[in-house]
Amino acid sequence: MRIKGIEHIGLAVDSIDTAAPFWRDVLQLTHRGSEEVKLQGVNTDIYDTSSGKVELLEGTNPDSPISKFLEKRGSGIHHICFEVDNVESAMTELKENNIQVIGDNPTIGAEGYKVIFIHPKSTGGVLVELAEKPLK
């Protein structure tokens, strides 16, 4: 598997409006975009650091994984996402290594990336996302 770098860090926040000023105004990260990812039940607000992004994630319904995380642990770092060149082959390789992938197929995440998530059970407690950049 070829990891190309840290694509982003996902942060679970109670409210993007309340959380954004620290990242935008204090750290002065560049705002890159905001979008709803319906499949994951989240609103995203994405900032660029020049090398890796910060993604603020707010649940849009009580059943979204972000809402459940917030309920259980409160706001904080939710996951790390690494960019890979091919998410399908990464998934095959993970399964061969008996690593637990969440779901059977990649889904489409923010910014059109093709993504999979590795279960924290297989990583020592860290939710790890692998993402393949969409073709332009």
Q: Which residues bind a copy of itself (CB under 8 A)?
A: 1-6, 9, 11, 13-14, 18-19, 22, 25-29, 49-52, 54, 73-77, 79-80, 82-83, 94, 97, 99, 120, 122-126, 128
Residues 6+ positions from 68 with CB-CB distance below 8 Å: 59
User: Which residue from 111, 110, 84 is spatially nearest to 101, judged by alpha carbons?
Assistant: 84
Q: Looking at beta carbons only, is 37 or 127 nearer to a copy of itself? A: 127
Q: Looking at beta carbons only, is 5 or 62 nearer to a copy of itself? A: 5
Q: Looking at beta carbons only, is 4 or 38 nearer to a copy of itself? A: 4
Task: Give me the least distance between CB of 46 and a copy of itself, in Å please.
Answer: 13
Task: Give me the least distance between CB of 98 and a copy of itself, in Å please.
Answer: 10
The string of DSSP letters for 73-90 reads H-SEEEEEEEEES-HHHH
Task: Give me the least distance between CB of 36 and a copy of itself, in Å please.
Answer: 20
Task: Give me the least distance between CB of 42 and a copy of itself, in Å please.
Answer: 16
Residues 6+ positions from 17 with CB-CB distance below 8 Å: none
Instruction: Tell me how far apart the alpha carbons of residues 114 and 85 are, in angstroms, rounded to a whole number.
Output: 10
User: Which residue from 64, 82, 112, 114 is spatially nearest to 1, judged by alpha carbons?
Assistant: 82
Q: Looking at beta carbons only, is 38 or 130 nearer to a copy of itself? A: 130
Task: Give me the least distance between CB of 118 and a copy of itself, in Å please.
Answer: 9
CA distances in angstroms from 70 to 14, 16, 61, 64, listed in the order given: 7, 13, 12, 10
